[in-house]
């Protein structure tokens, strides 16, 4: 299978790109290889210490995890637990950097002690085995998705959404690196893809932008495709959408993957 990937990110206004708290990771099959592809986006919770680090850690661990983590809840929980094992070391480093005498020191200590949290969404694209033939169209395959929180996935075929993993909420479930709370059960989904299908994975602010357009019978995919075709203009486009009041001022991540035949 072939996968045409585009990754676009933008930080909050007046923030340096290095401070972005979103993360994205991909695994793509080598040219001529029938292997799988993996697409991951994660969104560190604003206001939690180390959230960008935690989003990156979660995305990295899920990208390298056994395939069952995308369709089996206990296996996904194992991934989150393994990722959290690195938090104590990061926590100590953050605590060491807090000034000893500061008006805000106790706030920083409290945030660090509680640990970071993040939403995460992973999609696994699989080619059909050669003996299977696949549904409807040759050269397609299946997909699996695992999700905690409000990052979204839209599967688009000929300009129309055929499947989605989409949660509309202002209080998303999150995966935590520290604390005694158990992680929430992930949402697990599966489906089929055809050659020419496009998968759009995005964090919450851009997802809400898409909802606004689709609710009004709009087709946001054309606008996103235009940005992927000329990625240097993405920061200006984000700022324009924010100034119009249709895109929230939050970190933005778009991971677009166009599927070619196996």
Q: Where are the domains of the chain?
A: 2-260
Highest mean pLDDT: which range of 50-59, 92-101, 160-169, 215-224: 50-59
Residues 64-91 pLDDT 10s: 999 999 999 999 999 999 999 999 999 9
**What sign for the dihedral angle of Cα 147, 191, 166, 161?**
positive
Residues 104-116 pLDDT 10s: 787 888 889 899 9
The neighbour count for residue 6, using CB atoms within 10 Å, is: 18
pLDDT score of 190 more than 80: yes
Instruction: Name the band, by pLDDT with cuts 50, 70 and 90, for residue 136.
Output: low
pLDDT score of 189 more than 70: yes
SS3 breakdown of the chain: % helix, strand, coil, rounded to 5?
35, 30, 35
pLDDT score of 165 more than 90: yes
CA angle 6, 11, 15 (to 5 degrees): 150
Residues 192-234 pLDDT 10s: 999 999 999 999 999 999 998 876 667 899 999 999 999 999 9
- Per-residue b or e along 19-48, where b marks 16 or more CB atoms closer than 10 Å to that residue's CB: ebbbbbbbebbeeeeeebbbbbbbbbbeeb
Rounded Cα gap, residues 241 and 262, in angstroms: 37
pLDDT score of 180 more than 60: yes
pTM reported for the whole predicted model: 0.93
Torsion of CA 65, 66, 72, 78, to 10 degrees: -50
Q: Which CATH superfamily is domain 2-260 in?
A: PPM-type phosphatase domain (3.60.40.10)
Kindly state the helix (H) or strand (E) to which residue 96 belongs, with its residue range.
helix 87-96
């Amino acid at each position: 299978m072939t996968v045409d990937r585009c990754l676009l990110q933008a930080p909050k206004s007046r923030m340096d790109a290095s401070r972005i708290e979103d993360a994205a990771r991909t695994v793509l099959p080598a040219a001529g290889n029938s292997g799988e592809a993996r697409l991951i986006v994660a969104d560190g919770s604003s206001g939690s210490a180390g959230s960008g680090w935690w989003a990156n850690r979660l995305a990295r661990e899920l990208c390298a995890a056994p395939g069952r983590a995308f369709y089996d809840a206990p296996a996904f929980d194992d991934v989150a637990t393994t990722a959290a094992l690195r938090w104590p070391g990061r926590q100590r480093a953050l605590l060491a950097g807090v000034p000893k005498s500061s008006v805000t020191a106790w706030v920083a200590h409290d945030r660090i002690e509680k640990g970071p949290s993040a939403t995460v969404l992973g999609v696994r694209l699989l080619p059909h085995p050669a003996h299977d033939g696949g549904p409807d169209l040759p050269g397609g395959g299946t997909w699996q998705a695992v999700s905690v929180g409000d990052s979204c996935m839209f599967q688009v075929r000929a300009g129309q959404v055929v499947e989605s993993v989409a949660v509309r909420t202002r209080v998303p479930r999150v995966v935590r690196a520290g604390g005694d709370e158990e992680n929430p059960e992930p949402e697990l989904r599966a489906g089929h893809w055809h050659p020419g299908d496009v998968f759009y994975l995005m964090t919450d602010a851009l997802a809400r932008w898409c909802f606004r357009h689709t609710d009004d019978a709009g087709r946001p995919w054309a606008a996103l495709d235009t940005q992927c075709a000329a990625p240097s203009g993405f920061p200006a486009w984000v700022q324009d959408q924010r100034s119009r009041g249709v895109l929230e001022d939050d970190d933005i991540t778009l991971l677009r993957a166009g599927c070619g035949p196996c």
